[in-house]
């Protein structure tokens, strides 16, 4: 019995020693519950995000699932596809804004990402179920960051993401809203004006083309040649009546 007990103790010490010597996982430390469940490090990179594209709230959205085992590739894929689907239904949200918001998801370890695109592509809502943001006001100020050294392998990590988004969105006449998710995590909503609709409403009617007779064209050419002048000069140069020259100037 004693030899079995000693062998058991030796096995425990060997296991503990090997665990300590394991190299650090390259991506950010992912999920405590995943680690406790015995998830392999490679499986922790198996991120899945869902894009919900709403052509109308009268129907269910199109749902697209995206995944990658590499953080850089995953960020690029999410930013590119979100931008493409937003533009596809008429959106004007800049790529740089979407990229900054998606890079920010690394703080949530990309846990349960849902990106909703609606309002003709001009509103993009990005939600996660990560640890959340405690101080949302300071998070939108330059220099405030919780980025770890591991995270800085993939993002700048200097607290510039949300401030850049806020300034860019404000310049475009839009808005950013940072809220708590229902249970855990954060929801960031980006919205910009519908430029196409606004321009069509504000566009003035195009005036009908004006037809000039021969004399009026002569008056116009003379004014272009001699510059600012009055009806007396026009009448003398073209040999027309003073009242006629006056009427032509008023018309032109």
- Banded pLDDT at 8 (limits 50, 70, 90): very low
Encode pLDDT of 75-100 as tens digits: 999 999 999 999 999 999 999 999 99
Q: What is the pLDDT of residue 63?
A: 96
Task: Name which of 110, 60, 50, 46 is nearest 85 in CA terms.
Answer: 50
The strand pairing partners of 34, in sequence order, are none
Q: Which residues contact 91 (CB under 8 A, 6 or more apart)?
A: 117, 120, 121, 122, 124, 192
Q: Is 48 in a helix, a strand, or coil?
A: strand
Encode pLDDT of 96-144 as tens digits: 999 999 988 888 788 899 999 999 999 999 999 988 888 888 777 777 7
Encode pLDDT of 169-179 as tens digits: 999 999 999 99
pLDDT at 233 over 50: yes
Task: Name which of 215, 224, 221 is nearest 246 in CA terms.
Answer: 215
Q: At what angle do helices 214-226 and 231-238 cross, to 10 degrees?
A: 110
Cα–Cα distance for residue pair 180/185, rounded to 1 Å: 6
Average pLDDT for 182-196: 88
Global pTM reads 0.59
Task: Give the class (CATH, top level) of 32-201.
Answer: alpha beta
- Banded pLDDT at 9 (limits 50, 70, 90): very low
Q: Which single residue is written with the structure tokens 């980025």?
A: 147
Cα–Cα distance for residue pair 86/79, rounded to 1 Å: 11
């Amino acid at each position: 019995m004693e030899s079995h007990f000693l062998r058991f103790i030796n096995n425990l010490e060997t296991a503990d020693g090997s665990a300590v010597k394991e190299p650090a996982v390259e991506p950010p430390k992912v999920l405590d519950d995943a680690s406790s469940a015995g998830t392999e490090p490679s499986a922790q990179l198996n991120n899945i995000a869902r894009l919900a594209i709403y052509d109308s709230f009268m129907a269910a959205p199109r749902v697209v699932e995206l995944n990658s085992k590499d953080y850089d590739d995953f960020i690029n894929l999410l930013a590119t596809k979100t931008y493409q689907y937003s533009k596809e239904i008429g959106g004007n949200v800049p790529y740089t804004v979407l990229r900054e918001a998606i890079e920010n998801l690394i703080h949530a370890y990309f846990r349960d990402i849902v990106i909703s695109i609606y309002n003709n592509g001009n509103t993009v809502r990005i939600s996660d179920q990560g640890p959340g943001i405690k101080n949302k006001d300071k998070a939108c100020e330059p220099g405030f960051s919780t980025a770890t050294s591991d995270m800085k392998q993939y993002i700048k990590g200097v607290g510039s993401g949300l401030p850049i988004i806020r300034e860019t969105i404000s310049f475009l006449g839009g808005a950013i809203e940072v809220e708590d998710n229902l249970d855990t995590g954060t929801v960031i909503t980006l919205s910009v004006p519908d430029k196409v609709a606004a321009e069509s409403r504000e566009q003035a009617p195009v005036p009908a083309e004006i037809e000039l007779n021969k004399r009026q064209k002569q008056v116009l050419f003379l004014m272009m040649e001699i510059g600012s002048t009055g009806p007396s000069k026009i009448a003398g140069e073209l040999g027309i009546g003073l009242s006629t020259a006056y009427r032509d100037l008023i018309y032109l």
